[in-house]
Structure 1
Amino acid sequence: MKLLRSIYNSWRRNAFRTLITDDYRSWKGFELQVASWHIAKQLKTDKPHVAVLLPTSGMFPASMTAIWSQGKTVVPLNYLLSPDEITYIIEDSGVDTVIAVTPMIEMIGGLPEGVETLLLDKMSFKGMPPVRSSVKSDEEMLAALLYTSGTSGKPKGVMLTAGNLHSNVEQCKQWAEFSKKDIFLGLLPQFHSFGFTVNTLVPCAMGARAVYTARFNPRKVLELLRTHKATALLAIPSMFNALLNAKSATASDFESIRFAVSGGEGLPDAVYLGCKEKLQLEINEGYGLTETSPVSNWCRPAEHRRGSVGMPIVDVHERIVGEDGADLPANEDGEIRISGPNIMRGYYKLPEETKNAFDDQGYFRTGDMGHLDDDGFLHITGRIKEMLIIGGENVFPREIEEVLTNHPDVLAAGVVGRQDDSRGEVAVAFVELKEGAEFDEMALRSWCRESIATFKVPKTITLLQELPRNPTGKIVRRALAELVQKDITQ
């Protein structure tokens, strides 16, 4: 397994250099290596998969490499899920051992009966235990089983091979010109595909430093930036927005950043421009899915193209496909389909869904709409399943949300559809306001009319104290649709 060898070699080459700093301690290379060996020695399970329930920290890569060294698959657990959801993932993946710390077990209310826990806070990492590594140089080995939150139904286990992950690590390093001189500020949880690959595997594999915090807090993040002078800041729009609105944030806090990337969803103009003007921080956008390991597109550090998520990274190929399955020319919207060495093997125990996820040319069907411009840069329009059809016209929620979030009083917005007798469907919006702002539905609808066609203007705009978000801060439109079903906007 090339990736495991890269990480272990990196830790050995940087044995006495601090590689990771988290909320609990700092880790030198040899400390990570020794911790990995100790954890591997304690793994007694005969099952092929081992789950990890840990806060974002140095304990995660130590556990992950321990699992790989024994030829097993890591299953990161999202500790923000409900007990029933965690139980489902444990049962579906077939794990009988969870590597964890006591506070995390207590936080989720315990684990299902019969599941063993390996508690790292109860272990001693002293000494050098002899550990036999059973891992072979097999790039087809199933390295990770990452469960998607899913837009409907149960979470699906995305099977990522050692080759998938190693390819994406190398792609990211080359495309973003990362080196061991970089200092990553890891804000996304490591159970999330972006936090897993970009904020954990990439720095570990090349000996770069990583600074982690388990809970996103703007004030804490600013302190970490001032103390550690991070060079790479990879986050989601809501995090950048929170940093922009932090009262103590100044441009000097971000002067060490050479590469700031936003992903997960579209970056609103107000956030992009605010960060550029107030913080002197130029944010690039990227794109990818759990199924793509996850990065498929990035604007490079010196490539600032507003509104685009960048060109496909090295060895990734993309098609924009129409409803008839034919390739579309530049600047025409269609489904984004992707191929490359970073594309998943498939969905765990779901052969039919795996088959349907790929077209007859072997390209992964993303379910996202977008287009490539004349220079080959990708622009995202929205999710196919979330597209509204208003009076026969295709409308994407993202366009309306962008207009609403550009309003000076609006912190965040979410848009979904509602059935309508005359138009077939209409847009309804939900907003979360900035502190001290007053809600005025008519004023917000008037604001929308200035920027978008009348038929796209939300029929209703409802104020929520907090919009529903997933663990990484992304607005969950499915939850908003459920509110519509309950007729709260009537």
Structure 2
Amino acid sequence: MPDSLSARLRAAIAHHAEAGRTALAAPDPITYADLGARIDAAAGAVRDWGVEKGDRVGLIAPKSAAAIATYFGALQAGACVCFFEPGLAPEVVAEQAALVGMRHLIVAEAYAAQVTGRALAGLDVRALDGFSSGTAFAAEIGPRDEAMLLFTSGSTGRPKGVLLRHEGLICNATGVLRHTGTGPEDRLLHVMPLHHTNGVNNQLIVPLLAGAEIVLMERFQAEAALDHLRTGGITYMTGVPTIYARMLPLLRQGERFPGLRFLRCGSAPITPTLHHQIENTFGVPLLVSYGLSEATCTSTMNPPGRRRIGTIGTVLEGQNVGLFDPVTGRPVETGREGEIRISGPALMAGYLGSTDQPIVDGWLRTGDLGRFDSDGFLSITGRIKDVIIRGGENISPALIERQLAAHPAIRDCCVVGAPDADLGEVPVAFVVLREGQGLDEPGLKDFVRGSLARIYVPAQIHKLDVLPVNGVGKTDRKALRSLLVVP
């Protein structure tokens, strides 16, 4: 059979089943043998439904063994599968399905009431519990066949469908496995949503290929996550900076977690100050990584045992990451800043429902600015579209955020550009203060001025109780900019 992610998963699951390993804790243990049988049955049921190779199938369900088995069953049947964000209005589901040409939708009972009505009349909707009793089936799938659909966050406009192939899923999983050394002795705490690329690619596919056990949390709750770390034998966890920041105040003084090897962090920038706080409090390394849905999931990661704070790590095997002058398009020298671009088999096949195609001459243009050091560790220095142009001078918000985050009164911060009649744009900071601290705007401005040039000093500093975040935990800069708009 040609190589595919489904074929590799099927072989790995069978191997781990022979060893008697447990795949999911959900909440009753699901063995690899049981999971493999459930995936085979779901694949047969999807085929009997009339789904053909390449058809796009959506899934709306809580994080559960049934949802996971059906997802990989549909993939094994040759479908191109997508987890929708739970709780979307029927009109939004219908719009996204039409955007990518989807005609089949599987829905768990918990969300059945939300997918009724005229808006979804064009979709063939079936209940999740109807996919547990099919006859084992595996379609013949190749590496270039369509495998997965993801939707971008839509923070800059209407969502776009990201189309991924089997070879991209294989490339990502292989690189992450070799970088992290994940194996059967590992136990992952799964806290990320399934409609996010990391929730499937790095927190389902990678551990299942490795024979690890996955502890499922339907949604992140800081105290519940800490309880799992204290008693659940967790060896690693993947999250975003916001997740760890919310856990920090709840940890006991000097607390340590038996078995915990490392924490992983991605999807949003993290300041060195917060990075140090997390490592010092949890007592294990924090491995920062970087990637985009358009390149499957992860392209660079800090290796365990030699992480470098302030960087997003080294390039995963099987991928190419280069830096290019965003104006001339020419590669830049080591040590020079340039736009991060990615090439290789992990790249998406393209966007669906959009004429915007960021892959040019085989390179994905990320819009992020970065710099490699002499050891191959990459650091993000800013984002092209987030650069604040003050009187013709480019200002990176990340530089200001890094300085503010080092102030003892600041727990979290974000800097955006605000319109200015004279200078065009000026930096404005939003800060979350530590408990018991008051906003000393002149003092914070002096603190920034102590390390950065005058142009980097925020024109205004606003206090918030919490920074707004989007569905995957990234700080929502668009929401912050909207606070600056005068009605």
- Provide the TM-score with structure 1 as the length reference: 0.91
Q: Do 1:335 and 1:367's aligned partners in 2 also have CA atoms closer than 8 Å?
A: yes
2:282 is the alignment partner of 1:282: no
Quick check: 1:119 aligned with 2:127? yes
Secondary structure of the residue aligned to 1:485 is coil
Alignment of 1:207-356 (within 5 A): 207-248=211-252, 250-253=254-257, 255-322=258-325, 323-350=327-354, 352-354=355-357
Task: State whether residues 162 and 351 of structure 2, in contact with CA within 8 Å, keep that contact through their aligned partners in structure 1.
Answer: yes
Q: Give the 5 Å matches for 1:469-480.
A: 469-480=469-480
Partner of residue 169, structure 1:
173
Distance 1:447 1:410 in 2: 12
Matched, 1:96 2:99: no
Q: Could you tell me which residue of structure 2 aligns to residue 442 of structure 1?
A: 442
Q: Which moved more, 1:37-46 or 1:63-72?
A: 37-46
What SS does the aligned partner of 1:408 have?
coil
Query: Is 1:64–2:81 an aligned residue pair?
Result: no
How far apart, in 2, do the equivalents of 1:436 and 1:117 lie?
Answer: 52
Contact 2:262 2:304 (C-alpha < 8 Å) held by counterparts:
yes
Give the match's secondary structure for 1:251.
Answer: coil
Instruction: State the match for 2:21 in structure 1.
Output: 17
1:87–1:111 contact (8 Å) kept in structure 2: no
Q: Secondary structure at the match of 1:432?
A: strand
Q: How far is 1:469 from its partner?
A: 0.8
Q: Give the corresponding residue for 1:143.
A: 147
Return the match for 1:132 from 131, 137, 149.
137
Letter in 2 for 1:131: A
185 and 72 in structure 1: CA distance in 2 versus 1, 3 angstrom threshold: same
Cα deviations by residue, 1:214-265 (Å, 9 ceiling, x for unpaired)? 1111111111112222222221111111222214475322x42223221112
* Alpha-carbon distance between aligned partners in 2 of 1:52 and 1:116, rounded to the nearest angstrom: 12
Kept after mapping to 1: 8 A contact 2:171/2:318: no
Deviations 1:120-174 (A, max 9, x none): 3x4584xx642333x2131111100111113322111111101110111111111
Asked if 2 retains the 8 angstrom alpha-carbon contact of 1:331 and 1:372, the reply is yes
User: Any conservation in 1 of the 2:63–2:217 contact (CA below 8 Å)?
Assistant: yes
Q: Is the 8 A contact 1:289 1:295 kept in 2?
A: yes
**What is the Cα deviation at residue 349 of structure 1?**
4.3
User: Cα RMSD (Å) of the superposition?
Assistant: 2.3
2:7 to 5, 18, 24: 5
Matching residue's letter, 2:415: V
Q: Residue 159 of structure 1 aligns with which residue? A: 163
SS at match of 2:120: coil
Measure the CA separation in 1 of the matches of 2:98 and 2:333: 45
Give the number of equivalent residue pairs. Answer: 477
Q: CA deviation at 1:54?
A: 2.2
What is the aligned partner in structure 1 of residue 188 from structure 2? 184
Distance in 2 between residues matched to 1:108 and 1:262, nearest whole Å: 34
Distance 1:108 1:234, change over 3 A: farther
Give distance in 1, aligned partners of 2:169 and 2:309: 28
Farther-moved stretch of structure 1 (179-188 vs 45-54)? 45-54
Letter in 2 for 1:191: H
Q: Secondary structure at the match of 1:484?
A: coil
Q: Deviations over 1:414-466 (max 9, x none)?
A: 22111223322101122233444433333333332233222111111122333
The C-alpha deviation readout for 1:48-104, integer Å capped at 9, x for no partner, is 111011223333431221111221110111226555443321221232332232223
Question: In 2, distance between residues paired with 1:434 and 1:102?
Answer: 42
Name the SS for the 2:30 alignment partner: strand
User: 2: CA distance between counterparts of 1:286 and 1:67?
Assistant: 29
List aligned pairs for 1:333-482, cutoff 5 A: 333-350=337-354, 352-354=355-357, 357-360=358-361, 362-482=362-482
**1: CA distance, partners of 2:89 / 2:470:** 12
Q: Is the 8 A contact 1:236 1:262 kept in 2?
A: yes
Q: CA deviation at 1:107?
A: 6.5
Check conservation: 2:45, 2:135, Cα contact below 8 A.
no
One-letter amino acid matched to 1:348: L
SS of match in other structure, 1:112: helix
Letter in 2 for 1:198: N
Cα 1:428–1:36 change in 2 (3 A) is same
Distance 1:258 1:340 in 2: 30
Q: Is the 1:105–1:111 contact (alpha carbons within 8 Å) kept by the matching residues of 2?
A: no
CA deviation string 1:15-65 (max 9, x = no partner):
34321113x432111222232234334431447111011223333431221
Gaps of 5+ in 2: none
